[in-house]
Amino acid sequence: MVLAGQDELVSVFHSGSSATVHLHGATLISWKHHGEEQLFLSKKAVLNGSKPIRGGIPVVFPQFGVGPLIKSSQQHGFARSMRWTVSERKENKVKLQLRSDEQTRLLYPFDFELHLAVTLEDNLSVEFSVHNLSAAPLEFTALLHTYFRVESIADISVGGLAGCVYRDKLRDSSKDVEASSEIKIAGEVDRVYLDAPTSLFIHAPKKTVKIASSNFPDAVLWNPWIEKSKAMADFDDEEYKEMVCLEVGHVGRSVILPASAQWTASQTLSIAG
Ligand code: TA6
């Protein structure tokens, strides 16, 4: 792992639990719920600000994947690649912000301010908001690209998505319907579920992780499996066994935010069992 300087990290605490945010991308890189790490961070992650962080919760804005909303072929926008600043800090809460600047205007010709508020209680909540400071409407997609740590991918299942329509990014297919109420992952998966329920679950033998979202209508399920893991320089070949990305977002269609308006969405992660 390429390490971070201590002044790049902000931690919050609440009754035996902690969470740490890296200023690069406002990426939440650790959530220790009563001492047990819940987020996956690759041992090959680069934390020196030279590339997006492979793991934790990178913030995707203003373009999910590759698309027309920014003038760049780089995927997942620029918010995860920029240094955010701390705007508010308490023992169990930190708020970070990112404002448009000359660099962002080259890719995305708008003025905006982003806020990410991380609040640690027994649950962890992450609230993302976008404020349009332009005179024109702001168009964007956004997502919290959450990497969950799992003991073994073979032993988990993902619940809450049965009956949802999804786009399978691997098959370039138009639309499928999820048939399974407990999705097992035994190969590469990269799906965008549209209009997903607001409660999703990762069931593991000893616990269930619940992802409760608000104003994020869509959900992405991703595991790179064997070949894609080998192709990623900042991801160890075997780490696909220890993670699953279950990501809530507004990606099926874009948000069109009127001038001066603000848009807010959030996820709350909790552990049961
Ligand atoms: O959210 C899933 C996804 O879009 C996958 O298609 C996969 O590429 C992943 O994100 C990681 O993207 P990254 O740009 O971080 O390598």
Measure the CA–CA gap between 79 and 87, rounded to whole angstroms.
16
Atom 8 (ligand 1) nearest CA:
65
**DSSP type of residue 61:** B
Could you read off the pLDDT of 195-219 as tens digits, one per residue?
Answer: 999 999 999 999 999 999 999 999 9
In terms of Cα–Cα distance, which of 20, 245, 248, 6 is closest to 118? 20
Catalytic residue, candidates 22, 145, 203, 250: 145
The token pair that represents 135 in the structure block: 């005179």
CA–centroid distance, residue 190 to ligand 1 (Å): 8
Tell me how far the alpha carbon of residue 228 is from its chain's centroid: 19
Contact 8, 90 (CB under 8 A): no
The pLDDT assigned to 106 comes to: 97
Which band of pLDDT confidence, cut at 50, 70 and 90, is reported for residue 63?
very high
d(CA 229, CA 4): 23
Expressed in angstroms, the distance from the first to the final Cα of the chain is 31
- Ligand 1 site residues (CB inside 6 A) read 52, 65, 75-76, 145, 169, 190, 220, 222, 245, 247
User: Residue 242 contacts by C-beta under 8 Å, 6 or more apart in sequence?
Assistant: 40, 149, 150, 151, 152, 153
Whether 247 sits among the annotated catalytic residues: the reply is yes
Which residues, at least 6 apart from 227, have a Cβ–Cβ distance to it below 8 Å?
188
The pLDDT value recorded for residue 273 is: 83
Report which residue type is found at 153.
I
Q: How far apart, in whole angstroms, are the C-alpha atoms of residue 181 and residue 168?
A: 17
Q: Are 203 and 193 in contact (CB under 8 A)?
A: no
Rounded to the nearest angstrom, the distance between the alpha carbon of 14 and the centre of ligand 1 is 31
The answer to whether residue 5 scores a pLDDT higher than 70 is: no
Q: What is the pLDDT of residue 238?
A: 98
42 CA to middle of ligand 1, Å? 14
